[in-house]
Structure 1
C-alpha cells in the first residue's frame, strides 16, 4: 500500500506539470489571499496548577490567566495547476508554523487533488474543522491526546467528484506520524484514510446531514528490551533483547455524524464523533504526567511502551436563540485510555498508573456574534475523573475551567 501511494505521488505531479510549466500569472501581491483570526481569552481554574486540555496546563501557582489562545495568519496563492499555503500561529509562547503545503490539480482531472507538506490529518470531522469556526473553545480530550495539534507532514490524495456524486469525498494520506513540528524518528510511515458524505440541500435547504468513517494505521518504535500489554487485571511485562526496535501497532477506527436544521426556534446543530483502537504510550514518571503518558509522541519514547486499548467520543449541541445573535452551546466528551481496566483497579500492584484513568467533560455556555468578524464566548467545563487507588486520584480532581473569549476574524 505504501509503495503504491508513493508511486501515485510521483506520477500525478508528472501528469500535471507535463501539461504546463505552471508559471505564476504574475508576481503581483494582489494574487495573494490573506486570512486569519485572533482569539484572546481569560480563564479561571478551580485550583492552581491544574493539568488542563482547555488551552494547556496552568502554572503551579496560578488559577487565573489572560492568554492569546490562537493568533493565526494564513497566506494562500492559487495558480492554474496548483495552490500554495502557509499558516503561522502567533501567541505569547512565540511563533509556530501550522500549515505549509502545496496542492496540485489539473482541469482534466478536477476530481483529484494531491497535497504535499504540512497539513491537517485527514481523520474524522473535528480534526480538520477550523478552530475559528468551531463554537466550542477546544477539541475533545480524546483527539487532543491521539492527534495533538491536528497536523502532520506527508502527502495526501483526495477524490471529490463533481455532479450528482459531489456529496462524496475520499482522502488517503501517508505521513510521518510524529506530528506537526518534529522530525520523524524512524523510517516507518503511517497511513490515514477518511471517507465522508455531505448532503446540504435537504428539506428545502433547511436540513444538512453529514457522516463519515476514518482509519489510521501506524506504529511507535520501542527503545528498550521490554514493553507492556494490557489485560483485564492490569499490564503484563514482555521482555527480550529483540524488543529493542519493536514497532508497536498504533491503530484507530473512527465514525462521525453532523446534523443541522434551520427551524422556527433558530438553527440547531448536533455533531458527534467516536474513535477506538490501540494507543502505544508509557507509564507515568517524572518526565511524563498522567495525561502526557498516553499522548501520541513527537519523538522517540525513552522508556518501555504500554499498549492500551482506548475509546472516546464527543457530542456537540448548539441552538441559536430564535433569530438573535446568541447561541446556546453544550458538549459532552469521554476519553477512556484503557478500556480493559476498571477505575477501582488502578493503583493495585498491576503496573497501572494515572495514564489509565478515564475522564469525562461536560461543557456549557453561550456565544454572541456581534458581526461576521467578532464573536464573544462564555464557557464552563466540568471535568470528572474516575476514583482510583492512586494517592492523588482517590476522588475527583478540582480541575474545572471557565473561559471568556473574544475572537476576531478577517
Structure 2
C-alpha cells in the first residue's frame, strides 16, 4: 500500500504546485530567418550569470514533507476502513433482525335462531387478530417476541428464547418461554397461512389456547421432524399468569416431510387438578391427547396446485375456557380439508370437520334444545383472492350441523365471514 500512497502523494503534490505556480509570460518567437546566437560561456570579465532562485524546484518552506503526507494519507485510509467495517457490522446485525405481522379485519353475520325476534344472530365488524412479531436469529441463539393488539387490549402471544445446539448447524435447538404446543398440524400453523378464518372445532376444543409456558426441543434430520417438551398444561387462556400446581404435561410430535407429502403422530400426557360434584376434595385427573395428521400436495389439475389435509385427535379432559372444563370426559374429532388453487392469486377450499364432545353420548338440555354433549359436524367453503403478496381477501360460509335426538332440532347458526388480511 505504501508505494501506492507515495505515487498518489507525488501526483497530488505536483498538481498542487502546478496550480500554485503563476503562468510565465511567453516571449516572442524570433523570426526564422534570423539565426539564433550561440550562448557563450561567461568570461572572467563578464559578470556572473544569473542563477535561478533557490526554491524554484524545491518544496516551499513550511510545507509537509513526503513522509508526513504519506502518514496523513495512511491515517485517512485507516479511518475509511474503520467506517466501512462499522457499516458492515451494522448491516449484518440488521439482516439478523426481522419484523413481521398481520391484521385480520372481519365482517361477521350469523343467521338468527328466531326469525321473528332475531334472537341468536348477529351482524358486526371486528378485528380478530392484529399481530406484531420480532425475530432476531444469530449463529447460536434466537429471540422471538409476538404481541396481539385487539379491541380488548394488548396480549402476549409468544416469547421464546432459543439456543441452537453448537455443532448441529441449527438442526437441533432448545427453546424456553411461552410458545405453541408441539401437537398436530393445524394447532402450530400460523393463522395468517390458514385457509379458513378459524381452526377446526376439534382443535379449538382440544388445543383451546394453542400456547403454553414451558420448554421444548426441536430436531431435524433429513426428512424427519421431532418436537417435544414439558409444559404447565393449562394453556395461556386459563386466566392465570402462573401455574398453580406442580403437575406438568409432556407433549410432542414425531413427523416427516417429503415435500409432496408430510405428516406425523402426536402425543400428550399430563394431569389436571380439579373437583367433580362427586369429589370431596380436589384430585388429579388425566389430561391426554393422541393425534395423527397428514398433508399431501399434488399438481395434476391444469388450474393450479391441489392439497389435501386431514387430522384426527382423541383425548380426555378438555375445555374451551381453561382446558379443564370437562374433567375426565373423553372426546374425539377430525377434519378433512381440500384446497384447489386457481392460477397464482385465487383458491377455493372445502373443509368438513366433526367433534364429538362425549364420544357418542348424545343428550338434550330439554325436549327441544341440544345439550352440550351433542356432536357437531361443520361444512365450510371459502373463496380467497390474493392482491399481491401482502393482501388477501376471503369469503367463508360455514354450516354447523348439530346431531340431535328426540324432539330437539338443529339450531340455526350458519356463519358468514368476510375477512381482509394485510401482512408484511
- Identify the TM-score tier after normalising by the shorter chain: 0.7 to 0.9
Return the offset for 1:95: 1.0
Q: What is the number of equivalent residue pairs in this alignment? A: 326
Aligned: 1:159 with 2:211: no
Q: Is the 8 A contact 1:362 1:383 kept in 2?
A: yes
Gaps of 5+ in 2: 1-88
Q: What are the equivalent positions in structure 2 for 1:105-124 lying under 5 Å apart?
A: 105-110=164-169, 111-124=171-184
Q: Distance in 2 between matches of 1:45 and 1:348?
A: 24
Deviations 1:263-306 (A, max 9, x none): 323110110000112125xxxxxxxxxxxxx43626x86xxx64
**TM-score (norm: length of structure 2):** 0.72
Contact 2:113 2:411 in 1 (8 A): no
- Of Structure 1 and Structure 2, the greater strand share is in 1
CA distance in 1, matches of 2:182, 2:411: 34
Unaligned runs of 5+ in 1: 1-24, 50-58, 201-207, 227-238, 281-293
Structure 1 residue 31: Cα displacement: 4.4
Who is 1:289 aligned against? none
How far apart, in 2, do the equivalents of 1:361 and 1:175 lie? Answer: 31
How large is the Cα RMSD of the aligned pairs?
A: 2.6
Measured in 2, the distance between the counterparts of 1:308 and 1:388 equals 20
Q: How does 1:226-305 map to 2 (within 5 A)?
A: 226=277, 239=278, 241=280, 244-263=281-300, 264-279=302-317, 294-295=319-320, 297=322
Higher relative contact order (CA 8 A, sep 6+): 1
- Once the two structures are superposed, what CA deviation does each residue of 1:72-92 show, in whole Å capped at 9, x if it has no partner? 100111222110110011111
Q: Residue deviations 1:308-362, cap 9 Å, x none?
A: 22110111111112x2522111111000011142x3x44589xxx8331111110
Query: 1:33: which partner in 2?
Result: 98
Q: Which of these two proteins has the greater Rg computed from alpha carbons?
A: 2
- 1:386–1:222 CA distance, 2 compared to 1 (3 A): same
SS in 1 for 2:196: coil
Q: TM-score, normalised by structure 1?
A: 0.74
Residue 379 of structure 1: CA displacement?
0.6
- Say if 2:352 and 2:377, in contact at 8 Å, map to a contact too: yes
Greater shift, 40-49 or 373-382, is seen at 40-49
1:383 aligns with 2:400: yes
Distance 2:120 2:272 in 1: 35
Match of 1:80 in 2: 139
Change (3 A) 1:317 1:31: same
Distance 2:119 2:403 in 1: 23
